[in-house]
Amino acid sequence: MRASASARLLRLDRMGLLIALLLAGAALLPFASLSPNRILPGVPHALPAALGGGGAALLLAGLALAAAVALLPPPPAWRLAVACAVLTGLLAGIGLAGGHLTPDDNPYARVSPASGFWLLLFALLLLAADSLTRLRPRPLLRVALLALALAVLLGFAASGLWDDLSLIKEYGSRAEAFWREGRRHVALAFGSLGAAALAGIPLGIFCQRRARLRGPILNGLNIIQTIPSIALFGLLIAPLAWVAAHVPGASDIGISGIGAAPALVALFAYSLLPVVSNTVAGLEGVPGQVRDAATGMGMTPRQRLFRVELPLAFPVILTGIRIVLVQNIGLATIAALIGGGGFGVFVFQGMGQTATDLILLGALPTVILAFAAAVLLDALVEWSGGRAPR
């Protein structure tokens, strides 16, 4: 009997055991909090009090099923289906908690997700990610799953189920500013990426062709990476202010000591090392036999570069671009400190006002944008690797 019990324990999935423990612990933590206004701290409410008896029992049953699926994993597809279903129930549950807890006589009351909700969300996302890792879906399927997840989030937001949550109320009072800063955030991240690709790929080709200069150039770019982002933003204020004041036409095109210009320059500087180093690594990874064969076919060095070497190195170069884009989406948040705009505006406003939901209004879109960019570019890297000419 003891041997059979030990064997059953050994068959338990280790990652699933961690997920089940997280689910069990999170179910005991406060699920939502109610505060009289957006500034004062909220009163935590456990899952039964936040949802009422019927809703809480249904959600707890779903969490128990997710824990069982995590511990004794069925086929990964079933595991993923259960994780997604319970995630959907959790997102619906927090919306129902907002309506259940909000008092009718206090229009300023705010209901926010509490620690239990965030930990449950993390555990279920971990279960879904682990299932996807075991399934190893093809790039197109990963993109389709991402689109489905975003559609579900937009559906919840448009349905009105979350309207009583403090985060949605913060968005409602700042909707115009939210989309304006969102456009600035995307422009900073993608603009700096485009400039880095235009400058970094030719520089990487030059470094690969000139081995003597490769070390000094890469070391110089590596030094830039060691400078803290806030410090680099600050260091650029004075020189760009001088350029705006003394170079004719500079201020007319938007160059100034504060604003988007120093943020764009700083993000561009941070982006160069991954692009240059991955370009060098990709070109170095092209087999010598391929180069010799291209030369034997009568190709000039330029033709060999553009027809053979760069297509073969493209997946590695694209990996560097993926690193840069995800990095810049996060770093663009700090640009708000020097007037560059972006979702960081809400993050720093929320910190100044001690308003957690205002911080989340800036932080959550940044996380979603970075995650979506990573999934899309990962799929593109894998697809391009399979499509590279042989």
Does residue 148 share a domain with residue 296? no
Which tokens hold the place of 85?
């279903």
Residue with tokens 């990426």, as numbered in its chain: 193
Does residue 254 share a domain with residue 132? no
- Please tell me the number of Cα atoms within 13 Å of 335 on its side-chain side: 31
Kindly report the CA angle at 125 between 124 and 130, in degrees rounded to 5?
100
pLDDT at 237: 78
Which of 166, 199, 219 is where one domain is finished? 166
Dist. CA 297–CA 157, nearest whole Å: 59
Whole-model pTM?
A: 0.86
- Residues 25-50: tens digit of each pLDDT: 999 999 999 988 777 788 899 999 99
Which of 116, 131, 166 is where one domain is finished? 166
Does residue 160 share a domain with residue 38? yes
Does residue 210 share a domain with residue 144? no
**How many domains would you assign to the chain?**
2
Q: What is the CATH number of the domain that holds 342?
A: 1.10.3720.10
pLDDT at 95: 92
Q: What does the chain come to in residues?
A: 390
Please report which confidence band the pLDDT of residue 386 belongs to, taking 50, 70 and 90 as the band edges. Answer: low
37-41, 92-96, 275-279, 297-301: the lowest-pLDDT one: 37-41
Please report which confidence band the pLDDT of residue 1 belongs to, taking 50, 70 and 90 as the band edges. Answer: very low
> What average pLDDT does the segment 128-151 reach?
91
> What average pLDDT does the segment 273-294 reach?
89
- Residues 181-209: tens digit of each pLDDT: 999 999 999 999 999 999 999 999 999 88
pLDDT at 384: 78
pLDDT at 11: 58
Dist. CA 203–CA 269, nearest whole Å: 13
Does residue 214 share a domain with residue 128? no
Contact 42, 108 (CB under 8 A): no
What percent of the chain is modeled with pLDDT above 90?
A: 47
Does residue 267 share a domain with residue 162? no
Dist. CA 252–CA 338, nearest whole Å: 19
Does residue 273 share a domain with residue 200? yes
Supply the mean pLDDT for the chain: 87
Does residue 151 share a domain with residue 26? yes
Does residue 105 share a domain with residue 47? yes
What percent of the chain is modeled with pLDDT above 70?
A: 94
Structural domain for 261, as ranges: 175-387
Contact 233, 335 (CB under 8 A): yes
Does residue 101 share a domain with residue 220? no
Which of 139, 166, 193 is where one domain is finished? 166
Does residue 236 share a domain with residue 115? no
Please report which confidence band the pLDDT of residue 5 belongs to, taking 50, 70 and 90 as the band edges. Answer: very low
Does residue 186 share a domain with residue 151? no
